[in-house]
A and B are shown apart, each in its own frame.
Chain A
Amino acid sequence: MNGDVRDALARLSPEQRAQLTEQLRTRRNQSPTDGIAHRPDRQQYPLSEAQHRLWRLHRLRPDTPIYNLQVARELRGPLDAVALRQGLAQVERRHATLRANFVERAGAVRQVVADPGRLVLQQIDVSDQPDPMQAALRVAQQDAERPFDLEVDPLFRATLLRVDNAQHILLLTLHHIVADGWSVGIIEEELSETYRACREHRPAALPDLPLEYADIAYWQRGRGSEALQAEVEYWTRQLSGTVAPLELPGAGTAAGPRSMAGGHHTFRIPAPLTATVHDRSRRSRVTPFTLLMAAFQILLHRCSGQDDVVVCTPVAGRSRRETEQLVGYFNNLVVLRGDLRGDPTCATVLERLRPVVAGAFDHQELPFQTVAGLPHLSTTPLTRALFVLQDTGVGTLDLPDVATTPLTVAASTSDFDLGVFVRPDKDALSGVIRYRTHSFSPDMLPVLVDDFLRVLRSVVETPDARASQLARPAVADMAATGEKSTQPGVQGQKGQPRSALESALRDIWERLFRVRPIGVHDDFFELGGHSLLAAELAAEVEQRITGQPLPLASLFSAPTISQLAELIDSGGWSWASLVPIKPTGTRPPLYFVHAHGGNVIGYRDLARHLDADQPFYGLQAPDIRAADAVAEPRSLREIAARYVEEVRSLQATGPYFVGGWCLGGDIAYEMACQLTAAGLDVPLVLLVDNPRPSHVATGRNGRVAARVRTRLLNRAVMEWDNLRELPAGARPAHVGSRLGNVAVRLLVGAERWVASALRGAPVSLPTSWTLRRERIAERHEKAYQEYEPSAYTGQVALFRAERQPLGRAQDPTLGWSPYVAGTLDVHDLPGHRIGLLSEPRVATAAELMVQAMDAAVRAEAPPG
């Protein structure tokens, strides 16, 4: 090319150059010789290469949620759920891929497209929860982790959570085999238009789709291998020589399959630094992504000392124009190999990275698995670290009169050891780090973020600084166990258990190995463990601790007590009932039992307001989480016995503090009886407004009409008082949510009617979340009515609402005095019973409880 053109090109900004490249590429792709043909609508078609890979992986682990894509959007403002539902249906109709299932017949797997209409917008109301937002996030997490059955399930599901009247959360969850990040953007863009169109009663103005994903799959199959030969050669050259696996700061070196248990951590790159990043990238003629990637690679280099730093990034995989509007799994991963040999300056790192990034994007068609399968790379893990800068170009939901905010939902698994996802957020950059707990402990993340920002600042402000001159990252000295060591390899502690779970595990290990003492960092295999012992260990852990099977393979990824404890805590194996709402602190733990509904989310406020040194655990009904909650009915004594077992598995000796609201108080009382009968120390039982049935029944004399009137009156008075104690601004929302409660009750009634009408019919209704809750509540009501408390000789503190419902007996002990032979102290709390343990009154309750627990301990101590 002549000098003029070269100069002109050199003057282009990176964005302009990218645009030009794109246009040239598009023009090239529209040559008639390799256009993709549109096949007429078929019901069955082959899988693309990428889909095949996911299919094979799914066969190995059908229950993994790790290929689920979920976006969560918080929507504030008036939302038309009907229009939303119709809008989603239109989107589903447009894209055949969203209706695909994957069926294996005679050894071959095909995509089968179902007719439109399977997508149901599941609507869930959480507004009546004590903490609706937390409840919503929990539902979102469960939804993100619910696996898809590729053969029969719709692979696109939508859920609308009602937090209150003007606040919703929309969850769109897909399996990666039918969609990628770009696809979700398309779905959101199209949904924005179809929603509007439905509200305005007009057809949606959406572009025609000349091709389907199926056509791409056919085209790929027909393509010869020469088409990608140039790319194979590029990647073989680019990744030649020895590529060492990336060493992450503090990562363990366990052999064997790693656990995919994960966590996440959010962070921000503030606006001023973001502005400098943009400025510096313009001046260095690189994209902001390249600059951020350079900083990330320098950080990794400084932590590990490796000169050759391998980080992946996803690419859209849609270089062909026809694919831009299609929903489907197109994206690919490319490997960016950073060269940090010779202690380069930050500017040099950038210079070296520019062609690497350009080359990667120019050769992004070759499937990542093919690159990873190149002969010398097949045993090298290339995907330890991922870095993504998400485009503004990707569509987001834009509904009229509604403000949309993306939400980050916790996931319990992570695809990568370290995944950094950054996106523009007005003038700043927001980030989420998703990591594997196998490689990082949670307290390393804030330090990692600080280190990254420090490196980033150096790259933009002092580009001539050499990598070695930058401050050593603090995270490099942290071990994955979370302890800062003064020298690498030295363990901070002596291997003592640091939590009740580690203690419980240690007991099991010591018994099985017949060795004492065992440190929490001792390796199972180095202690002489073998597979049969592993099976015995797993069986004991299941029986005594988790109540759920522990896969034997977990000992490979978590071969020490410390790692096993972490795996159990974070990996989806948890106690059936114990919920560690606030596990930290040195005081004896307080265990609070669920009320009729079975869940303990409502106790979070209480946990926050108790003493900072007070550990707090909830005990929830085990079938709250089960997919099919049809447990056999149990007496209150049996329920309490199970909870006692679980508590004792965590805490082997006393003192034990137990309590609960409403039904929870009854169960806690029974637990205290059983614990005391076993010779254990229970300084105090905390009952929170739990009247005995006899006490409630005294308000039930008289005719039905009179009773109903009393109930309505009670409720009206209570609602009015609760409303008045709120600040004015919060009242409308509160009213809305209370009215919503009524709607839910009616809905539940309707569902039950339908369910009983359908009984015996071949069709079965999926049990909605609310209906299941009602069933759990019913069983608990029965247990409550039938319970006859034993006599108790210990100390009991009863916290009751001053404003009791009208028409009840005047007994201040709510019917408990006949049973408590020890001391029974009654404490009055202001207001009505509903809202006793929620903001704003929970602070008073918490204070009184802490005082009562302290007093009980003092009273137990021997005099003098």
Chain B
Amino acid sequence: MTTRLTSASRLEDGEVHVWWTGETQRFIDLNVRLRADEQERAGRFRAGDDRDRFAARRRLLRALLARYHGGQPDDIELLATPFGKLHLATVPATITFSMTSSGPTTVFAFTRHQPIGVDVESYDRRLDERGLARMVCTPSERAALAALDEGRRSRAFFTFWTHKEAVSKADGRGLSLAPTEIDVAWTLDDRAGTTVVADGSSPGAVWHSCTLELADELSAAVATALRPQHVLCTELRPDELF
């Protein structure tokens, strides 16, 4: 699973490439042009750190997309769906991607010809799992959590959450798809598997998701429509990109 990706790696059919960094702000100086609306949006963030990270993420995204799609990073055109999901403006979009961040960590996932979603959370604070589980977990997930020792419940909840989020981002509706429609109780036993989403415009949509091992303090998952043959995962290094 951990074949190292390099700038030369091609994205084959059936593969998922995952790039991530725990220090997004180190890429703030990438030489990639932001669009006017992106600059404006960056400016609206309250915290300076958030501002820098937003700008860095967009620059990184363009740099990586240029690598897969061809052309220059500055020329990459992005569009957003009404649900806020980004995609390439070119039609048809053979390269699909998803992006997620949590504090200083950002994760990018790429594949071909199919929807993809990725999510990351850091275990950096205490959650009220019981209250949250009541709200976002299915009955079997809640039962699975209750059966665990107190100490393991928090991590288990994060696993559930990141898989659900990855699926809802792959689906495209994000938060508009109720988390209670996505049952991932299986993730406690298996790193990878499929979930059937009951509520959907295409009823019975099946998503495949798998856990990503990035770092100890991170919980992450990536979801695709088809089961990937390989998931290749690498930490980004600034010197590598240009």
Name A residues whose Cβ lies closer than 8 Å to a Cβ of B: 56, 59-60, 255-257, 379, 515, 522-523, 526-528, 530-532, 534-536, 538-540, 542-543, 549, 551-553, 555-556
Contacts and interface: CB of A to CB of B under 8 A. Distances in A.
Given A59-B203, A553-B175, A256 B83 contact: yes
Interface in B168-195: 174-176, 178-179
Interface in B140-155: none
B50 A552 contact: no
Interface residues of B, number: 30
B82 A257 contact: yes
Nearest to A381: B82
A542 B128 CA distance: 13
Nearest to B103: A528
B46 A527 contact: yes
Nearest to B169: A531
A264 to B, nearest CB: 26
Given A534-B175, A536-B127, A528 B135 contact: no
A552 B128 contact: no
Contacts of A540: 131
A256 B84 contact: yes
B135 A549 contact: yes
A539 B84 contact: no
Contact of B201 (A60, A515, A530, A543): A60
A523 B44 contact: yes
A552 B178 contact: yes
B201 A531 contact: no
A784 to B, nearest CB: 33
Given A256-B84, A526-B45, A543 B176 contact: no
Given A255-B82, A255-B84, A257-B176, A535 B135 contact: yes
13 contacts: A257-B83, A530-B101, A532-B165, A535-B132, A536-B127, A538-B135, A539-B128, A552-B179, A553-B175, A555-B175, A556-B83, A556-B84, A556-B175
A539 B132 contact: yes
B110 interface: no
Contact of B50 (A522, A528, A542, A543): A528
A531 B174 contact: yes
B47 A528 contact: yes
Contacts of A534: 175
A840 B76 CA distance: 73
Contacts of A255: 80, 82, 84
B84 A528 contact: no
Closest 8 CB pairs between A and B? A553-B176, A552-B175, A539-B131, A528-B50, A526-B44, A553-B175, A539-B135, A527-B46
A527 B45 CA distance: 6
B135 A526 contact: no
A515 B82 contact: no
B231 interface: no
A531 B135 contact: no
A542 B175 contact: no
A205 B136 CA distance: 58
A523 B50 CA distance: 13
B128 A526 contact: no
Contacts of A56: 201
Interface in B116-162: 119, 121, 127-128, 131-132, 134-136, 161
A536 B132 contact: yes
A714 B50 CA distance: 73
A256 B46 contact: no
B102 interface: yes
Contacts of B119: 531
A185 to B, nearest CB: 34
Contacts of B128: 536, 539
A729 to B, nearest CB: 55
A258 to B, nearest CB: 9
Contacts of B83: 256-257, 556
Contact of A532 (B47, B131, B161, B174): B161
A523 B43 CA distance: 13
B208 to A, nearest CB: 20
Contacts of B134: 539
Interface in B20-62: 44-47, 50
Nearest to B127: A536
User: Looking at A539, A540, A555, which has the most chain B CB atoms within 10 Å of its CB?
Assistant: A539
Contacts of A256: 82-84, 176
Interface string B67-84: 000000000000010111
Contacts of A549: 135
B198 to A, nearest CB: 11
A528 B45 contact: yes
A535 B201 contact: no
Nearest to B176: A553
A528 B46 CA distance: 8
Contacts of A553: 174-176
A357 B60 CA distance: 51
B80 A531 contact: no
A603 B102 CA distance: 50
A379 B80 CA distance: 11
A429 B94 CA distance: 56
A555 B165 CA distance: 16
B50 A530 contact: no
User: Looking at A256, A532, A542, A549, which has the most chain B CB atoms within 10 Å of its CB?
Assistant: A532
A543 B199 CA distance: 26
A781 B44 CA distance: 57
B114 to A, nearest CB: 21
Nearest to A555: B175
A543 B134 CA distance: 11
B82 A535 contact: no
A549 B131 CA distance: 11
B136 A535 contact: yes
A531 B175 contact: yes
B46 A531 contact: no
A553 B45 CA distance: 21
User: Looking at B175, B199, B201, B203, which has the most chain A CB atoms within 10 Å of its CB?
Assistant: B175
Contacts of B127: 536
Interface string B192-213: 0000000101010000000000
A379 B81 CA distance: 9
Nearest to A514: B125
A279 B134 CA distance: 63
A530 B101 CA distance: 9
Contact of B46 (A59, A526, A535, A556): A526
Nearest to A534: B175
A531 to B, nearest CB: 6
A549 B134 CA distance: 10
A526 B51 CA distance: 9
Nearest to B201: A60
A378 to B, nearest CB: 11
B164 to A, nearest CB: 9
Contact of B179 (A59, A527, A530, A535): A535
Contacts of A536: 127-128, 132
B46 A542 contact: no
Nearest to A57: B201
A758 to B, nearest CB: 32
Contacts of B45: 526-528
B178 A551 contact: yes
Nearest to B49: A528
Contacts of A530: 101-102
Contacts of A515: 46-47
Interface in B62-116: 80, 82-84, 101-102
A376 B146 CA distance: 51
A535 B44 CA distance: 23
A682 B60 CA distance: 59
